[in-house]
Chains A and B, each alone.
Chain A
Amino acid sequence: MDYFLELFLGGLTRGSIYALIALGYTMVYGIIELINFAHGEIYMIGAFTALIVISVLTLMGMNTIAILVIAGVVAVIYSSAYGYTVEKIAYKPLRNAPRLSALISAIGMSLFLQNYVRLAQTPNFLSFPNLIPDFEFIKPYAHIIGSTEIVILITTAVVMVLLTILIKFTNTGKAMRATSQDKTMAMLVGINVNRIISITFVAGSATAAIGGVLIASHIGMINFYIGFMVGIKAFVAAVLGGIGSIPGAVLGGFILGWTESFATGYVSSDYEDVFAFLFLVLILIFRPAGILGRSGKHEI
């Protein structure tokens, strides 16, 4: 039973990170119907930024929790700036071009950012210190869940609640939904559609940066290429849940996380990555709109 619980919570943790990153894919797709392939790189840049901040602040001898928070905030700001800029440079000029052009531009942006970090930073793996302290209250349960997992779960939950409030109840959130449903009509009621698209990229990038810092703390290592695999898996999660649907991205993330966790735990860890792609193929065959997706016009 303990083993099952350990795998369950492990899958939940993994899944919540996929979900955090999947949210960015799904929000962007909901609003401009583009798979933002550079999204994984935004998350990778978040992790690198956090590592730089952590290194500097650790040298200054700051308190570890304060360092972690500051690193998180800086990563969010930095990644958001990247997300904003990527949209302006690579996607906005192509808004009225055939969809394939924007997709190619997205892939180009992804490769560019990977190699930019590789050259500007390093091609090697860097170790990422885990600054999350060991909580006393978790000690008795240490065999099924650790402090890092708890922090990941709580942070993810908070981010998701905030995002839901933003989208459901604020005027900006309503405008995001309106824009995703009918851009021309959104303009006709006075919504500045370009601004809403930028806000969507910023929100998705900020969420990805938080995911980046959490996952880096969890795994303990980063390099310029980490955005690729996690990015693809988060993308699978988004498609699984129904691309364009926010609850779908969260659900898809959890399902993928659990599947991977149970499969590695009960079958073999060799096949971990296979499942994501197996899933992708199965969804595309049997339910192209995803679990919660709409086959017609998408809502974010």
Chain B
Amino acid sequence: MLKIKNIQTFYGNIQALKDVSIEISEGEIITLIGANGAGKSTTLMAVSGIVPPRSGEIFFMGEPITDMEPDKIVSLGICQVPEGRRIFPYLSVTENLDMGAFLRNDKAKIKKDMEYVFDLFPILADRRHQAGGTLSGGERQMLAISRALMARPRLLLLDEPSLGLAPLIVKKIFEIIGKINAENNTTIFLVEQNANLALKVATRGYVMENGRITLTDSSKNLLANEDVKKAYLGF
């Protein structure tokens, strides 16, 4: 479904991605793990068209999207929940969700989907008129995921959804990630530093170091891999 082929990405003269290749099939959950500054977020931003690669190619459903405008990429069904959530602070919860559905015109179905995300996260329903900027960290993460779901994505890019959240909320968010994948067959590309958690929900994983993919395998093998254990699993 998504095919990233040998991309190189630069910020000015600094090379952030070196010859990165990643492939995801439809319906899969895969994860990309790595330390701070490895280039994980840059990879997602390249897919979303925010930081286009200098060379290499990206295909979605066989179509090249390497130099496509970000809004075109969203219209193909690729949505990102970026690092830091980036909730619109002065828009209400409902308006944030409306923005998630910006490219859709089917009013009735949008309303239904809003009910669906309010079912997933009932706390958001209670806060629906509140400004996004007044939400707690956990609520923001829920809203960020809900906002992406409002676009009915075929491929969901999630950047460190567990960051800064209490264990209980992390557990809930990961349950819902599994649920979204199972119920809607949404393909999920999960970036995480919490490798333990990520490898449990994903079927395969990629390990990134200094802008390079250094290892890729099934989650089971990665969880058993000595190097991965030492570097990312904390034992």
Contacts and interface: CB of A to CB of B under 8 A. Distances in A.
B102 A182 contact: no
A186 B74 CA distance: 11
A177 B147 CA distance: 16
A174 B95 contact: yes
Interface in A175-215: 175, 177-178, 181-182, 184-193
A181 B90 contact: yes
A263 to B, nearest CB: 35
B79 interface: yes
A287 to B, nearest CB: 20
Given A177-B88, A182-B88, A189 B50 contact: no
Interface in A26-69: none
B89 to A, nearest CB: 6
A149 interface: no
Contacts of A185: 82, 86, 88
A184 B50 contact: yes
A50 B195 CA distance: 66
Nearest to A172: B102
Interface in B98-140: 98-100, 102-103
B100 to A, nearest CB: 6
Contacts of B99: 174-175, 178, 186, 189, 191
Contact of B74 (A182, A184, A188): A188
A192 B48 contact: no
B86 A190 contact: no
B43 interface: no
Interface in B56-88: 69-71, 74-75, 79-80, 82, 86, 88
Interface residues of B, number: 24
Given A171-B98, A188-B82, A189-B102, A181 B91 contact: yes
A171 to B, nearest CB: 7
A192 B69 CA distance: 8
By secondary structure, the B interface counts as loop
Given A171-B98, A175-B99, A178-B99, A190 B71 contact: yes
A171 B102 contact: yes
B151 interface: yes
Nearest to B101: A189
A189 B91 contact: no
- Interface-central residue, B74, B79, B90, B103, by most chain A CB under 10 Å: B90
B89 A297 contact: yes
Contacts of B91: 174, 177-178, 181
B97 to A, nearest CB: 10
A98 B201 CA distance: 44
Contacts of B102: 171, 175, 189-191
B42 to A, nearest CB: 13
Given A174-B99, A175-B102, A178-B99, A191 B71 contact: yes
A299 interface: yes
- Interface-central residue, A187, A190, A193, by most chain B CB under 10 Å: A190
Contacts of A177: 88, 90-91, 95
Interface in A244-293: none
A177 B98 CA distance: 12
A178 B96 CA distance: 8
A188 B98 contact: no
A182 B98 contact: no
Contacts of A189: 74, 79, 99-100, 102, 147, 151
Contacts of B70: 187-188, 190
A182 B151 contact: no
B48 A190 contact: no
B86 to A, nearest CB: 4
Contacts of A299: 90
Given A171-B102, A178-B99, A188 B88 contact: no
Given A177-B91, A189-B74, A189-B79, 15 more contacts: A174-B95, A174-B98, A175-B99, A177-B95, A178-B88, A181-B89, A184-B82, A184-B86, A185-B82, A187-B70, A187-B71, A188-B80, A189-B102, A191-B99, A297-B89
Interface of A: 171, 174-175, 177-178, 181-182, 184-193, 297, 299
